[in-house]
Every structure is written in structure tokens, then in C-alpha cells.
């Protein structure tokens, strides 16, 4: 016995409505994701601008500390060339220390542990 023709069209209609409903849900989820991404980008740009301000102020503070130390040393009669060489050496050593911290941070940014956790490597 054959199924009535109206049942087939009803099934097709139900399937079509389900597909349409899922498409609308997926579109709203993607729209929410896009909105979240826009907020994240705007917040990241604001954070970057604030960090640039902080870096500028820290750099200015560091240079003022060196300048104040140089003026104090000069007021005690130390030669100006010696003061400038010492300030240059201190600045250079500070840069080396910061470079060490940058390299250490880059070495710690290893995503292979996360990848190995998600997709374990097969051991032979």
C-alpha cells in the first residue's frame, strides 16, 4: 500500500520549516558572534592606546630618574663624561634585562601543550 500523497508533502513542509528555523537560529548565532567580535576589537584598540600611554609615561619617568641622578652626580663634582657614560651603560643594561624577559616570555608561549591536549600525539 502506498502512503497518501498529502503525508509526503506534509513531511517536506515540516522539513522545510525545520531547515528555515535552523538557518534563522544559525544566522542569529553568527550575528551575535560578529557583534561580540566587534566589541572585542574595539576594546582591544582602546587597551592598546592605553598601554601606549603607560609605556610613554614609564619611559619618561625612567629618563627623568636618569637625568635626576646625573644632575645630582654633577652637583657633587663628578665629570660630565663619566656621568653620561654611566647613564648610557645603565640604559643599555636595562634594555638587555628587558630583552631577556621578552625572550623568556616568547619561549613560554608554546601552544603545543594545548594542541597535544586536544589532539594527543601517537607514540610509536
Q: What is the pLDDT of residues 53-102, one digit of tens each?
A: 999 999 999 999 999 999 999 999 999 999 999 999 999 999 999 999 99
Q: Does 9 reside within a domain?
A: no
DSSP 8-state secondary structure symbol assigned to residue 2: P
Quote the pTM value. 0.55
Residue 13 lies in a domain: no
In a domain, 84, yes or no: yes
Query: What pLDDT does 124 receive?
Result: 46
Q: Which domain holds residue 69?
A: 18-118
Query: Total structural domains in the chain?
Result: 1
Residue 1 belongs to a domain: no
Is the Cβ–Cβ distance between 74 and 80 less than 8 Å? yes
Q: Please check whether residue 37 lies inside any domain of the structure.
A: yes
Is there a domain that residue 6 lies in? no
In a domain, 110, yes or no: yes
120 φ/ψ angles, rounded to the nearest 5 degrees = -65, 140
Amino acid at each position: 500500500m502506498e502512503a497518501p500523497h498529502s503525508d509526503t508533502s506534509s513531511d517536506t513542509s515540516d522539513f522545510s520549516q525545520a531547515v528555515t528555523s535552523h538557518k534563522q537560529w544559525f544566522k542569529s548565532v553568527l550575528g551575535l558572534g560578529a557583534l561580540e567580535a566587534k566589541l572585542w576589537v574595539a576594546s582591544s584598540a582602546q587597551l592598546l592606546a592605553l598601554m601606549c600611554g603607560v609605556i610613554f609615561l614609564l619611559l619618561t619617568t625612567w629618563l627623568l630618574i636618569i637625568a635626576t641622578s646625573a644632575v645630582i652626580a654633577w652637583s657633587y663634582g663628578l665629570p660630565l663624561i663619566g656621568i653620561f657614560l654611566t647613564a648610557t651603560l645603565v640604559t643599555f643594561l636595562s634594555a638587555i634585562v628587558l630583552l631577556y624577559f621578552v625572550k623568556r616570555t616568547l619561549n613560554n608561549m608554546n601552544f603545543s601543550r594545548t594542541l597535544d591536549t586536544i589532539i594527543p600525539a601517537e607514540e610509536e
